[in-house]
Amino acid sequence: MLRPRIRLAAVLAVAALVLAACGGGDDDSGGSSGAASAGELKVFAAASLTAAFTRIGEQYAAANGGDKVTFNFAGSQALATQIQQGAPADVFAPADIANMDKVKDLVGTPRNFAGNLLAIVVEKGNPKGVRTLDDLASPDLKVVLAAEEVPAGRYAEQILDKAGVSVRPVSQEDNVKAVVTKVSLGEADAGIVYVTDVTAGGDKVEGVDIPEDQNVTATYPIATVKASKGQEGASAFMDLVLSAEGQQVLREHGFLPPPTT
């Protein structure tokens, strides 16, 4: 009575393993080439591009017979590491040139497609009355920045250095969206993020402009990934981002044309 049951369990377990192994094999070999050419494009993009690229992804799908774009939005530094470790990306769009340089042997020729300014993000109504970068130095203010490894964190550091303001942040978040979240939850009083994140942050936050002479312009490059099995789709997506249509979407979300220098 007992023995057949054990044998059955063992057979089932082995069968499950074999099936799992086959499934894995499919994903590795047949899967990515087959599925990718069938249009499942994987785009690794900076967290700040979330809203704009999601919209462009819809346009891409509409123009390519419903071919889906899957996005991996995260801190650019995390995405660069993932690509270095062989993650299956087709297109890479970080928020700075440094992270594109990090993977320059693994990608095609990058092209700059957008620019972005930074702003101070505060809670709706600006209850703490933050007006300038100098205000961020106040010890009464809980300031959250992106970590130095994150492009937005490095840009913020450049801005504060240039203004000669020393800020002691209470936290260094892993990506720029987490900074906005901490402010919209009311846990932090202020943060430095992209202008576009303030727009995307909805009605819980508002922005305080950083004057042009104190600001820096973030540059967003885009490139196809050499290891991608879906080169055609990758190039098509890149072209769409650079096209008038893609640029229009980026403008609507508050991005600037790429800096020409």
Partner 1 sequence: MTATARRRRRAATPRAGVPLPLLVPAGLAVAFLAIPLLGLLGRTPWGSIGAELASPRVAEALRLSLVCSLGAVAVSVVLGVPLAFLLARVEFPGRNLVRALTTLPMVFPPVVGGVALLLAFGRRGLVGQWLDRAFGITLPFTTAGAILAEAFVAMPFLVITCEAGLRAMDRRYEDAAATLGAGRWTTLRRVTLPLVAPSLGAGIALSWARALGEFGATITFAGNLPGVTQTMPLAVYIALETDLEAAIALSLILLAVSLAVLVALRDRWFPSASA
Q: Per rule CB under 8 A, is residue 108 in the interface with partner 1?
A: no
Does residue number 185 form part of the binding site for partner 1 (CB under 8 A)? Answer: yes
CA-closest candidate to residue 89, choices 105, 107, 104, 77: 107
CA atoms within 13 A on the CB side of 109: 1
C-alpha distances in angstroms, 209 versus 23, 57, 133? 52, 30, 9
The residue within the footprint of partner 1, chosen from 27, 187, 239, 245 (CB under 8 A), is 187
Candidate segments 39-47, 75-83, 107-115, 239-247, binder of partner 1 by CB under 8 A: 75-83
Give how far Cα 155 sits from Cα of 2, 74, 124, 185, Å: 67, 17, 24, 23
DSSP H/E element including 190: strand 190-194
Stretch that binds partner 1, among 13-21, 105-113, 125-133, 226-234 (CB under 8 A): 13-21
State which H helix or E strand residue 144 sits in: strand 143-146
- C-alpha to C-alpha distance for 46 and 162, rounded to whole angstroms: 25
Q: Which stretch binds partner 1 (CB under 8 A): 6-14, 38-46, 156-164, 219-227?
A: 6-14
Give the nearer residue to partner 1 in terms of CB position, either 1 or 244: 1
Task: Tell me whether residue 14 or residue 63 sits nearer to partner 1 (CB atom).
Answer: 14
CA distance 58 to 205: 27
**Shortest approach of partner 1 to residue 142 CB, angstroms?**
7
Question: Could you give the CA distance from residue 62 to residue 78 in angstroms, rounded to a whole number?
Answer: 30
| Cβ atoms of 122 and 99 closer than 8 Å | no
Residue 81 binds partner 1, judged by CB under 8 A: yes
Token pair belonging to 56 = 């462009």
Neighbours of 3 (CB within 10 A): 7
Under rule CB under 8 A, residue 11 binds partner 1: yes
Q: Does 24 bind partner 1 (CB under 8 A)?
A: no
Using CB under 8 A as the binding rule, whether residue 77 contacts partner 1 is answered as yes
Tell me if 197 contacts partner 1 by CB under 8 A.
no
Residues present in the chain in total: 261
Per-residue binding letters, 83-102, with partner 1 (x by CB under 8 A):
-x------------------
- What mask of x and - would describe binding to partner 1 in positions 141 to 170, judged by CB under 8 A? -x-x--x-x-------------------xx
Count the site residues for partner 1 by CB under 8 A.
29
Residues in contact with partner 1 by the rule CB under 8 A: 6-7, 9-11, 13-14, 17, 75, 77-78, 80-81, 84, 142, 144, 147, 149, 169-174, 182, 185-188
